[in-house]
Chains A and B, each alone.
Chain A
Amino acid sequence: MIFVRGAAFVPINAQQTVSEWRVSNVTVSKDKIHVEGLTGDAAIAHALKQCDLDVLAAYPITPQTIIVEDFQKFAANGEVQTKVIPVESEHSAMSACIGASAVGARVATASASAGLALMWEILYCAASMRMPIVFTVANRALSAPINIHNDWSDTYGARDSGFIQIYCQSGQEAYDTTIMAFRIAEDHKVLLPIIVAIDGFILSHNVERIEMLPDDEVLKFVGVRDPFISLDPDNPITMGPLALTDYYFEFKEQQDRAMYEVPEVFAKVEKEFEKLTGRKYGMFEAYRTEDADIILFTHSTPGGTAKAVVDVLREQGEKVGVLRLRMFRPFPTKEIAEALKSAKAVAVFEKCRSFGAPSNPLAIELRTALYDLKEKPMITDFVIGLGGRDVPPTTLVEGYEKTKEYLKKGESPLYETLGVRK
């Protein structure tokens, strides 16, 4: 067993996200940047505040609640010009977002877990009706047993809904991604709703150092929403009609094509954001993957832990790296295959079990992405951290060690669980 010192890793995530990626030639001068210690939820609330929302419709659910509480406080103090709709359910939250988006307003909501599950029907409507809604999620386990802590079952459950999905590792990244999300979703080439996800409690409730842009810079960056088409008395249209065997499929075909426009628009938006802040994140982050024999593949907060683990393992002479995914939908299939093709094995760590499935959502995507490679890395899939079970560095090391063993043996199980009493 490789010895890893847990405590030493704690501050690394925050430092890396803000300082190391900073470049010198940013357009916003340093003295205009406001730095504050904020929880992940509060960072998102601040981003939403600066994006000049027209409507926010949301229903309380832990661990997302702070986003809406903070936003309501901004509204109560006149710091935002937003109509906040305190709906009676998440189902109505997403429904009200669609209504507001349909008339051309900029809208957002926030939820998690059971709330997201209650929205499920309407998620599909939002995507298919091409409403660019920004949906921030503090990932939380689904009942039963009822549990308020983090895993990814909620948003993975919505993976086929047609929402773009981006997962963040830090509070700074959540702030930045929320701002960029409006530009991506509202782009006329895309016009799709977008989920910006952070790990419940681990990120939503922990305070990190957040660098915030001046309000006017964010406003300039996001602009005013320019709807492609909207409900308008001067040009009456019918939205959400019945389409049966003769047209439904064409709607879906168009929706599918819109998804494929996302990477290009995403790259364009990130480039502009980088000019403004010096920060960019990509569809995924490759960390010390060149020459790596084994690559740890995960996202959200375990991505930060994995990088710290890799640093220590590298010191001990192990050839290991991390590929931290950000964009789960659309899945950057080709780019990921390219980034992983020379590894001997990829160890997937994911906080979801797809019951009865051959493996789990993240590994299933990855296996598809790598299937056409002539020489495929071995894939191991570790289900970790369900219901907020802590994922210490040792869990990732255990997965790494197992992967090494399986490589030696030349075979591995389709998936296994780590960190659970069996």
Chain B
Amino acid sequence: MEPAAFKLTEMLQKQKILSSGHRMCAGCAAPTIVKLMGMALRGPTMVCEATGCLEVATTIYPYTAWEIPWIHVAFENAAAVASGVIEGIEAMKMKGRYKHDHVDVIAIGGDGASFDIGLGAISGMLERGHDVVYMCYDNGAYQNTGIQRSGGTLPGQETTTSWAGKLEPGKRERKKPLAEIAAAHRIPYVATVDPYHHRDFITKFRKALEVDGPAFIHAYSPCPRGWRSDTSKSIELAKMAVECGIHPLYEVIDGEEWIMSGPSKRLKELIPLEEYWKTQGQFKHLFKPEWEEFRKGVQEQLNHDWELLKKRCGVE
């Protein structure tokens, strides 16, 4: 098994899985997330990807940016395709027809593919126990189709299907707790990750690969285009998302043992959401006086969720 690469020198030596020259937007965190994932790999790996930004912008025929075997079939089925890939390999191994002792299978989907349309397929994959790592790169909306709201969109976020207007403060509903839903399947490993905390990211992804059975990774992925944020600030925004508690970092083992990760655990207190909102055009309407109560409500809800998570993780 190849070791994971943590230091810069090790990273430079690790086999590249995504080449440069792909057509992701400037400042998009998704390619960084994929590259960090690549640092955790331990040998032959295949990727099954859902339709989304990352898929369309890295595989425009006749080009591909992927340097490892990669398959895309449709939007809602990456987890099902991955189930087939791993079982196909297992069957051929069983019959002595497969040349590799082990192949890691990773499924990747955006928040639309994972929180919404593909949730059934993910749940099925987790319940059946296939040895697959599913990673959701969550950029908070259907950015690929033009910034529409998803189950992963934050309250107060303006999208092209949750407009801020005279009557509406953007999306009113809370974000679906996807990692918790995955953990409720009592699978061996669930973790939330963030591209700013790269060491934490790589360590967790490696653990996800190493457990027997399914693992689920929820990665936060800033999107300058959809978020109306500075293209040079994406990694800073990823850092802030942890600091304000929008994307707390934790692990869940076997659906039972909740562990808060260092970057979240070390926070003395959360920075106010307003600090985070200020960095992005998609929240600017929230600062209008009429949404003061709404702002407070969202902050209270987040504080409540944060306390609940701390309790689960046994953090004082």
Q: Which residues of A contact B (CB under 8 A)?
A: 54-55, 57, 81-83, 85-89, 91-93, 95-105, 107, 121-122, 125, 129, 224, 231-234, 236-244, 247
- Report which of B67, B91, B103, B124 forms a contact with A92, defined as CB distance below 8 A: B124
Q: Does residue B120 face the partner (Cβ distance < 8 Å to A)?
A: yes
A297 to chain B, nearest CB (A): 37
* Max chain A C-beta neighbours (<10 A), residue from B72, B92, B124: B92
Stretch among B53-61, B153-161, B174-182 lining the A interface: B53-61
Among A97, A101, A231, the most chain B Cβ lie within 10 Å of the Cβ of A231
| Residues in B lying within 8 Å of A, measured CB to CB | 44-46, 48, 55-56, 59-62, 64, 66-74, 76-77, 79-85, 87-92, 94-95, 97, 99-100, 103, 120-121, 123-124, 127-128
* Chain B residues positioned under 8 Å from A86 (CB to CB): 128
Residues of B within 8 A of A87 (CB): 80, 83, 124, 128
Tell me the smallest distance from the CB of B131 to a CB of chain A, in Å: 12
Task: Report yes or no: B72 in contact with A241, Cβ–Cβ below 8 A.
Answer: yes
Min CB gap B166→A, angstroms: 39
User: A107 touching B70 by the CB < 8 A rule?
Assistant: no
- Cβ–Cβ contact A103 & B92, under 8 A: yes
Q: Could you tell me if B92 and A239 are in contact, using CB atoms closer than 8 angstroms?
A: no
> Which residues of chain A come closer than 8 Å to B127, judged between CB atoms?
88
Residues in chain A near residue B44, CB distance under 8 A: 233
Contacting pair A81 B84 (CB below 8 A): no
Cβ-neighbour of B80 out of A82, A99, A239 (below 8 A): A99
A103–B85 CB distance below 8 A:
yes
Cβ-closest chain A residue relative to B107: A99
Query: Is B72 touching A233 in the complex (CB atoms < 8 A)?
Result: no
Please measure, in the bound complex, the distance between the C-alpha atom of A88 and the C-alpha atom of B88, giving whole angstroms: 18
Contact status of A233 and B69, CB under 8 A, knowing A55-B87, A122-B74: yes
Check B74–A95 contact: CB distance below 8 A: yes
- Known A95-B74, A99-B80, A99-B85: A236·B94 in contact at CB below 8 Å: no
Q: List 10 A-B pairs, Cβ < 8 Å.
A: A82-B91, A88-B127, A89-B121, A92-B80, A101-B84, A236-B69, A238-B64, A239-B70, A242-B55, A242-B61
| CB–CB B60/A85 < 8 A | no
A128 CB to closest chain B CB, in angstroms?
Answer: 10
The residue that B77 contacts in the complex, of A91, A100, A234, with Cβ under 8 A, is A91
Residues from chain A with a CB closer than 8 A to the CB of B89 are 103, 105
Instruction: Please name all residues of chain A whose beta carbon is closer than 8 Å to the beta carbon of B71 when the two chains form the complex.
Output: 98-99, 102, 231, 238-240
Contact of B74 among A57, A85, A125 (CB under 8 A): A125
B69 and A92 form a contact (CB under 8 A): no
- Known contacts A91-B80, A103-B88, A241 near B61 by CB under 8 Å: yes
In whole angstroms, what is the CA distance A240 to B100 when docked?
23
Residue pair B74, A239 in contact (C-beta under 8 Å) = no
Query: Which residues of B are found within 8 Å of A95, using beta-carbon distances?
Result: 73-74, 77, 80-81, 84, 121
Distance in Å from the Cβ of B83 to the closest Cβ of chain A? 5
CB–CB B88/A92 < 8 A:
no
Partner of A121 from the list B74, B84, B121 (CB cut-off 8 Å) is: B74
In the docked arrangement, what's the CA distance between A187 and B121, Å?
Answer: 31
Which A residues are in CB contact (< 8 Å) with B88? Answer: 54-55, 83, 99-105, 107
Which 7 pairs across A and B sit closest by C-beta, in order of nearness?
A99-B84, A88-B124, A100-B88, A233-B44, A96-B84, A105-B88, A92-B80
Is A105 touching B83 in the complex (CB atoms < 8 A)? no
In the complex, chain A residues whose CB is within 8 Å of the CB of B59:
238, 240-242
Contacts of B61 in A (CB 8 A): 241-244, 247
How far apart sit A85 and B70, CA to CA, in the bound complex (Å)? 21
List A contacts of B64 (CB < 8 A): 238, 241
Closest to A125 in B: B73
Q: Across the interface, do B124 and A89 meet the contact criterion of CB distance under 8 Å?
A: yes
Tell whether A99 pairs with B90 under 8 Å between CB atoms, given A231-B71, A241-B64.
Answer: no
Contact present for A100 and B121 (CB under 8 Å)? no
Min C-beta distance of B181 to chain A, whole Å: 15
CB distance from A138 to the nearest CB of B (A): 22
- B60: which A residues are within 8 A, CB to CB? 241-244
Contact B87 A96 (CB under 8 A): yes
**Contacts A87-B83, A104-B88, A241-B60; A224 near B97 (Cβ below 8 A):** yes
With a CB–CB cut-off of 8 A, which chain B residues contact A93? 80
Can you name the residue of chain A whose Cβ is closest to the Cβ of B83? Answer: A96
CA distance A241 to B71 in the complex (A): 8
Q: Name which residue of chain A comes closest to B57, CB basis.
A: A242
